[in-house]
Structure 1
Amino acid sequence: MTKPQLLLPAKSFPSLKCALKYADCIYFGTTDITMRKRTGFKKSQIKKVVQMCHEKGKKAYLTVNTVVYNKDIKKLQKIISIAKEAKVDALIVWDPAAIEIAKSKNMEIHISTQANISNYQSCNFYQKLGAKRIVLSRELELKEIKKIKKDTSVEIEAFVHGAMCISISGRCHLSTYLTGKSANCGECTQPCRREYFLTNAEGEKIQCDGKYLLSAKDLCMIEYMPELIKAGIDAFKVEGRLRDARYVSVVGRCYREAIDSYFNKTFTKQKAKEWKNQLGEVYNRGFSTGFYFGNPGKEDLTLHNAGNVSKKKRIFCGYVDNYYSKAKVMEVRLTDNSLKIGDEMIVEGNTTYIEGKIESITLEEKFVDKGEKTQIVGVGLNEKARKNDKVYIIKDAK
């Protein structure tokens, strides 16, 4: 049995740094022709992203997966040409225009989940068009995925963790209707995460169980890795190109350990429970198994809270003013919050991502237990921090 690939998202260089520790492949986008336009890399950074992946022996997949209009064709051609030159390993596409341009450049093609592929015949159709891999619809039961795998020779990829859309394969028009921002062009304003009320013809509110009537819980399949591996899925995908680097780090590590433990025969239900608990410490809206074991019910909606329910929260403390490499100390300006010895700390910047516990703090050349808001303190750090990097601590959410 072949070990499935683990695909992790990257929206920034800190996220990429975290993903490369655990992923087999990275998927990323720019700010054009991608389903997460509000975040992503500049087109000029594609080459660097690919180089970083290849240096670690990982593959880099570029998402070019929105609806494509006439006005977008030139941008589409430019992005794919840049991707070709940068040696991107595959393009995640679904619009026929994107498929045709990718084929003209002899680039590997993966069909995006936006195509809503839900049966083996559709898989075979796209394979004939040149696709090497199909990212299946998220609305499939596991038994249907097994059937597809049995009746097609194309590689199949499935989401195992992250946000779920209330619409089929993300094909939502509610954002366009309410705000003029198209989800299908990467500008979703997430109206499904808002409060809604039911009213009758007279305008009277009808009582219902909850206010967030369209908000789905996040997918989490960490407990069912053995079943998914046995189904023959070629690649497991984690959603999260809007999430921070810590999310990528924690989720990537948990799924890497889960996959590896199955193959070295150490996977247990207790381990899965511990991984799920750790996943609950980063951004999530509550967990569900989605459509894998049948149609979701109201228990799979976040009826009373559409926001983050993680057990931990990231608190911004201040900025790095300097880093002294010989002393291995960063100078931190505490603009917003205090920090103390033993705190779990994150230092993050345009290219920096460092995690660890605070072991030493100095104030005016004296060791102290705590740095207070408005103070400038020295914090011991073995890795290089950069001026204006942001310093966070992780605390219990309660």
Structure 2
Amino acid sequence: MTELSAPCHNWATLNAAITSGADAVYFGVKKYNMRMNAENFSTAQLAKITKHCHSNKVKAYLALNTIIYENEMRNCEEIIKISKKAGIDAVIIHDLGLIPLLKKYEITFHISTQASVSNSNAAQIYRKLGAKRIILARECSLKQMREIIRKNKSIEFEAFIHGAMCVSISGRCLLSQALHQKSANRGECMQPCRREWTVTNETGKLVYDGKRFLNAKDLCTITILPEILKTGIRALKIEGRMKDANYVSTVVKVYREALDNYNKKRVPEWLERLKSVYSRGFSTGFYKENPGQESINYEADNNASPTKKEQIGIIKNYYPKSKAAEILLLNSGIREGDEIIIEGSTTFLKQCAESLQVNHENVKQAKKGSRVALKVQEKVRKNDNVYKLKKV
């Protein structure tokens, strides 16, 4: 069975990944991961995370996938020791210097896409070093993937299928470090590639105004998923450790459905659902051919989704016996049938508003400033935020 691996950075996104059908989740702690600007977990939470994942038959992978400096090795060893005790299923690494420590504590490790493994010889070297799995460079084509996998039957391979793409080669970008002293290879990328740029010659004359000509569209492979599976890939990965729980839930559900029962007739529907959450527009990356101008979003660096999330209120009470919640509508009203999201530090729930009541009277809508009760499909918590999804 092909494994579906989903991103998370807090309890809400973790629960969203699990309930939406992920086979595995990957996440970082406060140090040494490629999304240092994400919320991330603490090392003290690793045992609880692993226990929660395993109780739901989901694997837990810790990303320790930045370049590591000499003075950081002791801290890394402490994280690895805690990971071993917590029962983490594997640690994802980039820096070869961590391999002796992982072997010392007998922890399974995967090689990050940051290592930009793009050929079978490199894969064989990592296998000899003890890696169980290699996450291939995003720059590999389907043909190249197929050959690498064919020549390396004794190691697992994983590939990205959805999410943000870098205009540079995996693990090789120095632009953020050069401009902002924030290294992309240390998880601190400031994404200067997403900005507007112009090219001038030495006299200052404009040579090219391509606006955001380095701003790569997001990877989306729902249209070519069967071709990816035919390569013999062992695991599929969704990018998004900076994204919210709605993004994680939506994307995981779509690819779960596609993996379980792929039907070409459903592709338009799946695409619409993927477009409903954050993206910069879609391309199939390097899988079919080298991406050209069509893979760049020249106009905008932000969300291309036509669906926006508007906060309308907060949860004031939850009534478990009646499976209902009371919402204080702070910013906007609500109507029966509105698609809403309830999200908190551990909560994530997406549903349509139904069975509305104000002062114990059934209503079809409630105005801003009122308290409204409604049926909820899962447990929610006091002070959870309530959002309404709107087309714009």
Cα separation, 2, equivalents of 1:329 and 1:233: 44
**1:141-220 pair list within 5 angstroms:** 141-153=141-153, 154-206=155-207, 208=209, 210-220=210-220
Partner SS, residue 85 of structure 2 = helix
Structure 2, unpaired ranges of 5+: none
Shift of 1:24: 1.3
Shift of 1:382: 4.1
Shift of 1:214: 0.8
Shift of 1:207: 5.0
Question: In the alignment, does 2:351 pair up with 1:353?
Answer: no
RMSD: 1.5
The range that moved more, 349-358 or 169-178, is 169-178
- Tell whether the 8 Å contact from 2:212 to 2:301 is kept in structure 1 after alignment: yes
Cα separation, 2, equivalents of 1:170 and 1:281: 30
Shift of 1:231: 0.8
Shift of 1:124: 0.5
Q: 2:363 is matched with which residue?
A: 368
Question: Which TM-score applies when normalising by structure 2?
Answer: 0.95
Cα separation, 1, equivalents of 2:123 and 2:130: 11
**1:286-325 pair list within 5 angstroms:** 286-325=281-320
Q: How many residues align?
A: 389
Partner SS, residue 332 of structure 2 = coil
Cα separation, 1, equivalents of 2:99 and 2:334: 51
- Tell whether the 8 Å contact from 1:64 to 1:98 is kept in structure 2 after alignment: no
Q: 1:338 is matched with which residue?
A: 333
Question: In the alignment, does 2:79 pair up with 1:79?
Answer: yes
Q: Out of 291, 313, 326, which is 2:321 matched to?
A: 326
Q: 1:264 is matched with which residue?
A: none
Q: Out of 18, 21, 32, which is 1:20 matched to?
A: 18
Letter in 2 for 1:245: A
Cα separation, 2, equivalents of 1:150 and 1:324: 55
Partner SS, residue 30 of structure 2 = coil
Q: 1:388 is matched with which residue?
A: 383
- Tell whether the 8 Å contact from 2:22 to 2:58 is kept in structure 1 after alignment: yes
Shift of 1:206: 4.1
Q: Residues 122-148 of structure 1, C-alpha deviation per residue, up to 9 Å, x if partnerless? A: 101011100011101101111111110
Partner SS, residue 169 of structure 1 = coil
Q: 1:131 is matched with which residue?
A: 131
Q: 1:93 is matched with which residue?
A: 93
- Tell whether the 8 Å contact from 2:351 to 2:377 is kept in structure 1 after alignment: no
Question: In the alignment, does 2:52 pair up with 1:52?
Answer: yes
Q: Out of 2, 5, 8, which is 1:4 matched to?
A: 2
Partner SS, residue 293 of structure 1 = coil
Q: Residues 163-222 of structure 1, C-alpha deviation per residue, up to 9 Å, x if partnerless? A: 0011111432211222222211111111111111222334344453x4111110011111
Shift of 1:313: 1.3
- Tell whether the 8 Å contact from 2:115 to 2:171 is kept in structure 1 after alignment: no
**1:93-132 pair list within 5 angstroms:** 93-132=93-132
- Tell whether the 8 Å contact from 1:344 to 1:357 is kept in structure 2 after alignment: yes
- Tell whether the 8 Å contact from 1:18 to 1:249 is kept in structure 2 after alignment: yes
Cα separation, 2, equivalents of 1:361 and 1:202: 66
The range that moved more, 107-116 or 312-321, is 312-321
The range that moved more, 196-205 or 77-86, is 196-205
Cα separation, 2, equivalents of 1:138 and 1:382: 38
Partner SS, residue 354 of structure 1 = strand
Shift of the 202–376 alpha-carbon distance from structure 1 to 2, 3 Å rule, reads farther
